Amino acid sequence: MHVLLPDGKQLEFDHAPTALEVAQAIGPRLAQDTLAASVDGQLTDLMTPLSDGATVALITKKNPGDAAPVFRHTLAHVMSQAVGELYERKGYPKGSVKRGVGPAIDNGWYQDFDLPEPLREEDFPEIEQIMRDIISRNLEMQRRQVSKAQALEQFAADPYKVELISEFPEDEIITFYQQGDYIDLCRGPHFPTTGRLPGAFKLMSTSGAYWRGSDNNPILQRVYGVAFATQKELDEYLHTLEEAKRRDHRKLGKELELFTIDPLVGKGLPMWLPNGTVLREELTNFMKEQQFRRNYSPVVTPNIGHLDLYRTSGHYQNYADSNFSPITVDDEEYMLKPMNCPHHMRIYASKPRSYRDLPLRLAEFGTVYRYEQSGELNGLTRVRGFTQDDAHIFCRPDQLKSEFLDVLDLTVLVLKTFGMNEVRFRVGTRDPNNAKYVGEDAYWEMAEGQIIEAVTEVGLPYSVEPGDAAFYGPKLDFVVKDVLGREWQLGTIQVDPNLPERFDLTYTGEDGQDHRPIVIHRAPFGSIERFTGILIEHYAGDFPLWLAPRQIMIIPIADRHNDYAETLRGELHALGLRAEVDDSSNRMQAKIRDAELHKIPVMLIVGDKEQESHEVSLRERTEEGTKERKGVKFDDLKNELLVRYRTRMP
């Protein structure tokens, strides 16, 4: 038996060694400082026997962050043990705490419990204290392997573990880990001792979670924790959470008076306030301009449709759970529209189409209504009524790729315009083993191939995710990462031969025969509500000039400058710029503070000097901070602002 070290050195053993034994063979000091190992690139612990010829890189106290998933996992066990001890302190007999799963996740871990009485967040400090105590006991994490029968006996008192073990194959060797008197079924890996665990952890929250993720199962109590190799990283993470709170679009939406959600109107039904509407209209104008250039044809369709329309499209049957219930009028049934496509299909069908008419690009800012579960509703990002920047491109198979390329081009322009630089494209293809996908193999191969060709041609980074396609065709989603590293799914492009089929859409080809068009569904913003929510957080409310609902605040230093300020406001307004005068009796400093708090990007300060020479003093909020320019000719500034606005520069 031998193992390889990263420097190419080879170590011989007369048995399958663990990574700890490898470390000991190199030196006892190293063995003490080793936390985990990377074996053939896979994170492993020190207690697991290695296979012959494996390459072993030891992770030591020098860079403990490399072993983060391992110590997070071990901390889940330590917390699990601590919770057991807490309930003993509360007077419950040993074994009354039952456990679900407890994996490491991004930034930390969670552990599910079935508890005799719910855990409260007030209990966190005590649990953390017990955890620190367990760490200071420096318990050894022992790895044990038993047969399935022995495991069933070992965990007989814990129904959740029994359920998991029962599903293993009969001959499976079952691994569990033990520290002190705490034993848990677990695949590992773990730190060798609790004493080597970092102290930079914190219990964050508790919530309910269904056993094995199914709402038919009992609900367990899940406790979340975060952990890092160093206190500094933990502090940074907590700071990021604070930053996320500061950027929260629900908070900023209220402060900047962008939108409101009123229970009397209905939950999940946001109303756009004047400031928010200005922002929304800037977004839709941008998209309208682009669609005009790309020869889209705008259409408008009603907010409800006959139930037969959705029976034909399949939306009524396939998405019954998330539609609003039908409305009966004069013995006919109607439904709030959950998608715009069925209406657009009927517009296509409203007259005979020739191959010369294609591609036909029907675009609509269409408002749709979907019944989202109440617990899902969230500000603007998850709502029951929203508007899509929707379009359906009806094309011939030979036009598919060029149309797809044009949609991709538009998408990339959108991302660039809003400074969303970290973006990921996800090509959802069919899972060949899943029967839900309709249509012929030849079609799928053609459509999937064309999408991947188009994405490659544009030179975008993409991943292919089998099984992620819609049941009728492949799709392309774009996912952006924000400044805080959170991912948001924006728009989507889907290729669909199914709806033209269901609606029996045809065009007359060159050959005089009827042919079936293909439809591309696309929505670069996706939902305008959701996109706006993401934009608010992306800019932290500091919108670029063209998007800022309140662009310019003119600040007269004293009342005698109000008339001059009002003249300037009128001139700016005549150019289409959004300018206001703060003619309150506040001091200039207070007016500036007020404009700052409202995140108004441009402040024009005018006093005696400016009034005499038809100038302004400029104070701007920029990404780099406050920028001041004094003695600026107003006529020059007017032009500058107008150009910036029209060209959508920051």
Partner RNA sequence: GCCGAUGUAGCUCAGGGGUAGAGCAACUGAUUCGUAAUCAGUAGGUCGUCGGUUCAAAUCCGACCCUCGGCUCCA
CB of 590 to RNA, least distance (A): 3
Please report which residue ranges of 248-273 form alpha helices under DSSP H.
249-255
CB of 479 to RNA, least distance (A): 13
CB of 22 to RNA, least distance (A): 37
d(CA 618, CA 241): 34
Q: Where in 569-608 is the site for RNA (CB under 7 A)?
A: 584-590, 592-593, 596-597, 603, 605, 607-608
Among 61, 90, 609, 614, binds RNA (CB under 7 A): 609
Choose the catalytic residue: 73, 77, 343, 392. Answer: 392
Residue 560 interacting with RNA (CB under 7 A): yes
306 flagged as catalytic: no
Of 95-103, 263-271, 455-463, 567-575, the segment contacting RNA by CB under 7 A is: 263-271
Cβ atoms of residues 609 and 618 within 8 Å: no
In the complex with RNA, which residue's Cβ is closer, 100 or 192?
100
Residue keyed to tokens 């080793």: 34
CB of 204 to RNA, least distance (A): 8
Of 190-198, 212-220, 344-352, 385-393, the segment contacting RNA by CB under 7 A is: 212-220
* x/- letters, 219..238, toward RNA (CB under 7 A): x-xx----------------
516 flagged as catalytic: no
190 flagged as catalytic: no
In the complex with RNA, which residue's Cβ is closer, 33 or 128?
128
d(CA 20, CA 22): 5
231 flagged as catalytic: no
CB of 532 to RNA, least distance (A): 15
CA proximity to 504, closest of 297, 391, 348, 311: 348
In the complex with RNA, which residue's Cβ is closer, 61 or 267?
267
Among 15, 29, 120, 356, binds RNA (CB under 7 A): 120
Choose the catalytic residue: 72, 77, 247, 521. Answer: 521
> Residue 542: which residues within 8 A CB-CB, separation 6 or more?
599, 601, 621, 623
| β partners of residue 496 | 519
Choose the catalytic residue: 45, 184, 389, 390. Answer: 390
Distances (CA, A) of 13 to 6, 16, 17, 21, 37: 17, 7, 7, 9, 18
392 flagged as catalytic: yes
b/e per residue, 503-518, with b = 16+ CB within 10 A? bebbbeeeeeeebebb
Residue 413 interacting with RNA (CB under 7 A): no
In the complex with RNA, which residue's Cβ is closer, 133 or 255?
255
**Sign of dihedral through CA atoms 415, 416, 420, 422?**
positive
d(CA 4, CA 26): 12
Residue 435 interacting with RNA (CB under 7 A): no
Token pair for 308: 């037969």
Residue 208 interacting with RNA (CB under 7 A): yes
By CB neighbour count within 10 A (0-12 exposed, 13-18 middle, 19+ buried), where does 391 fall?
A: buried
Cβ atoms of residues 120 and 113 within 8 Å: no
Q: Where in 306-325 is the site for RNA (CB under 7 A)?
A: 315, 318-319, 321-323
> Residue 128: which residues within 8 A CB-CB, separation 6 or more?
82, 201, 202, 203
CA proximity to 425, closest of 467, 381, 463: 463
Residue 263 interacting with RNA (CB under 7 A): yes
Residue keyed to tokens 């080597």: 196
In the complex with RNA, which residue's Cβ is closer, 47 or 641?
641
Residue 398 interacting with RNA (CB under 7 A): no
Cβ atoms of residues 470 and 433 within 8 Å: no
CA proximity to 560, closest of 600, 620, 612, 619: 612
CB of 300 to RNA, least distance (A): 20
Of 10-18, 135-143, 344-352, 555-563, the segment contacting RNA by CB under 7 A is: 555-563
CB of 458 to RNA, least distance (A): 22
Residue 566 interacting with RNA (CB under 7 A): no
Q: Where in 41-100 is the site for RNA (CB under 7 A)?
A: none
Of 34-42, 80-88, 354-362, 371-379, the segment contacting RNA by CB under 7 A is: 371-379
Q: Where in 476-495 is the site for RNA (CB under 7 A)?
A: 492, 494
Residue 209 interacting with RNA (CB under 7 A): yes
Choose the catalytic residue: 161, 196, 337, 341. Answer: 341
609 flagged as catalytic: no
Residue 330 interacting with RNA (CB under 7 A): no
Distances (CA, A) of 630 to 126, 550, 605, 641: 59, 22, 9, 16
CB of 628 to RNA, least distance (A): 5
> Residue 194: which residues within 8 A CB-CB, separation 6 or more?
74, 78, 134, 135, 137, 138, 139, 141, 179
2 flagged as catalytic: no
**DSSP letter string, 188-251:** ----SBGGGS-S-EEEEEEEEEEGGG-TTSPEEEEEEEEE-SSHHHHHHHHHHHHHHHHH-HHH
Instruction: Assign 614 to helix, strand or coil.
Output: coil
Q: What is the CA radius of gyration of the chain?
A: 31
Residue 567 interacting with RNA (CB under 7 A): no
Triad 46, 49, 51: Cα angle to 5°? 125
In the complex with RNA, which residue's Cβ is closer, 221 or 312?
221
Choose the catalytic residue: 81, 111, 179, 388. Answer: 388
d(CA 278, CA 549): 5
Residue 463 phi, psi (nearest 5) = -125, 145
Please report which residue ranges of 388-467 form alpha helices under DSSP H.
400-417, 441-458
In the complex with RNA, which residue's Cβ is closer, 47 or 548?
548
Residue 536 interacting with RNA (CB under 7 A): no
Residue 375 interacting with RNA (CB under 7 A): yes
In the complex with RNA, which residue's Cβ is closer, 282 or 610?
610
Helix (H) or strand (E) holding 393: strand 385-395
Of 50-58, 202-210, 294-302, 398-406, the segment contacting RNA by CB under 7 A is: 202-210
> How many residues of this chain interact with RNA, rule: CB under 7 A?
69
Among 391, 407, 557, 572, binds RNA (CB under 7 A): 557
Interface residues with RNA (CB under 7 A)?
118, 120-121, 205-210, 213-215, 219, 221-222, 250-251, 254, 261, 263, 267-268, 315, 318-319, 321-323, 338-339, 370-379, 470, 492, 494, 557-560, 584-590, 592-593, 596-597, 603, 605, 607-610, 617, 619, 626, 628, 630
| Catalytic residue list | 341, 370, 388, 390, 392, 475, 521
